[in-house]
Amino acid sequence: MATILLAGGAGYIGSHTAVELLNAGYDVVAADNFSNSSPESIRRVEEITGKPVKLYEADIRDNAKLAQIFRENSIDAVIHFAGLKAVGESVAKPLKYYRNNIDTTLSLLETMQEAGVRNIIFSSSATVYGEENPVPYLETMQRGVCTNPYGWTKAMMEQIFEDAAKADPMLSVILLRYFNPIGAHPSGRIGEDPLGIPNNLMPYVTQVAVGKREFLTIFGNDYPTKDGTCMRDYIHVVDLAKGHVKAVAYVLGHSGTEVFNLGTGTPYSVNDIVNTFERVNGVKVAHVYGDRRAGDLPEFYANADKAAALLDWKTEKTLEDMCRDAWNWQKQNPDGYRNPD
Ligand code: NAD
Ligand code: UD1
């Protein structure tokens, strides 16, 4: 079976993908600088699957270190998760975001070329559709105007991959545009572990429910949606991880660039999330309605037909599953990976 290198593999999506790849019989090598994660996540991946992961502490911008990883392992494909992802921070520190995100991509492509590794899957985002495109988003739409440096790094990296694949007919690139990943592995052993105050909705909800934060502020209830709150395409992280397993099979037998949305195609509102979370978990999530957050769109969701047709992938988990699994992880790990058992 093939060996897959997960750049940024100790993070939220990387660790869940490692589990699904190991379960599907792939060998996994992970490299991470732990700037937003902990080696504990990979230890737990090994515990869940009963299989080993070869883990490197490495900065993905370090070409020499990458060359060593490619020398020491026979890598068939790379999944590039390594990146900074906090939208607000990217506005305050744009150069940090451009430097880290773009350089990780360039270093991976350069060292892959030297090592003769031709297959790469990239973690892109629905944010590249920008503000102009109508919903649901389709892969054939042009990339739009992004609203923040984080989004621009994703759009620029997509362009870099496309240009690299045009210049090298042997290169096989898959750009995966994630919608809103939430939830955790059903074991409750791995999950999302944000540092400091969470920026995203679900970790904020779980931290209110567990008593770490007093209340959730819902950003706006005057949007033109069914209940006035924003609508998003929330996807269970295990479904997302399984999408990567399908993408690995595809990238190995392909060349050129292919783009896929990974979403459910069904949007839910912020109120839906709060109400479902309270109902399935039997806990209260104190909340107030506040001002709109700058840059938020009223609604966006995927057209998920292309991934269904070409990758043979469909989401299986419900919003109830997402809320239950997110809570299970938070309850079992109130401090994330910081006080491991
Ligand atoms: P995460 O922060 O949990 O994982 C990213 C990992 O990359 C972390 O473990 C971090 O330590 C590592 N990393 C960052 N820079 C690095 C560097 N220079 N060298 C080595 N390791 C480095 O985030 P995630 O939610 O798992 O996201 C994974 C990818 O998916 C990111 O590229 C993110 O932008 C993208 N994405 C995430 C979401 C989401 O909602 N979580 C949505 C769309 C796209
Ligand atoms: C955010 C990013 C987007 C990125 C995506 C996945 C912004 C503007 N966009 O999308 O670039 O691709 O994450 O990582 O940050 N909400 C609240 N209260 C909160 C937190 C969130 O009401 O405390 C609402 C938001 O207004 C939004 C929804 O919950 O309507 C989801 O928010 P979030 O989880 O931050 O994701 P997005 O904004 O969709």
Residue with the smallest CA separation from ligand 2 atom 21 is 201
pLDDT over 90 at 155, yes or no: yes
SS3 state at 104: helix
Tens-place pLDDT, residues 23-76 = 999 999 999 999 999 999 999 999 999 999 999 999 999 999 999 999 999 999
Question: 128 CB under 6 A from ligand 2?
Answer: no
Question: 285 CB under 6 A from ligand 2?
Answer: no
Substitution candidate for ligand 2 out of 87, 148, 222 with most atoms within 8 A of CB? 87
Tens-place pLDDT, residues 190-231 = 999 998 999 999 999 999 999 999 999 999 999 999 999 999
Tens-place pLDDT, residues 273-311 = 999 999 999 999 999 999 999 999 999 999 999 999 999
Q: CA–CA separation, 235 vs 118, rounded Å?
A: 29
Closest CA to 85 of 49, 124, 112: 124
Question: 125 CB under 6 A from ligand 1?
Answer: yes
97 labelled catalytic: no
Q: HSE of 73 in the Cβ direction (CA atoms, 13 Å)?
A: 26
Task: Tell me what the pLDDT averaged over the chain comes to.
Answer: 97
Q: CA–CA separation, 229 vs 268, rounded Å?
A: 9
Question: 10 CB under 6 A from ligand 1?
Answer: yes
pLDDT over 80 at 340, yes or no: no
Tens-place pLDDT, residues 262-271 = 999 999 999 9
User: Which pLDDT score is estimated for 341?
Assistant: 60
Residue with the smallest CA separation from ligand 2 atom 7 is 87
Decide if 93 contacts 20 (C-beta within 8 A): no
Ligand 2 nearest-atom number relative to CA 216: 23
User: Which pLDDT score is estimated for 339?
Assistant: 72
- Mean pLDDT to the nearest integer, 246-272: 97
Q: CA–CA separation, 70 vs 63, rounded Å?
A: 10
**What six digits make up the tokens of 119?**
């297959």
Ligand 2 nearest-atom number relative to CA 270: 29
Question: 11 CB under 6 A from ligand 1?
Answer: yes
Residue 145 binned pLDDT confidence (cut-offs 50, 70, 90): very high
* Dist. CA 17 → ligand 2 center (Å): 22
Of residues 56, 97, 129, 150, which has the active-site annotation? 150
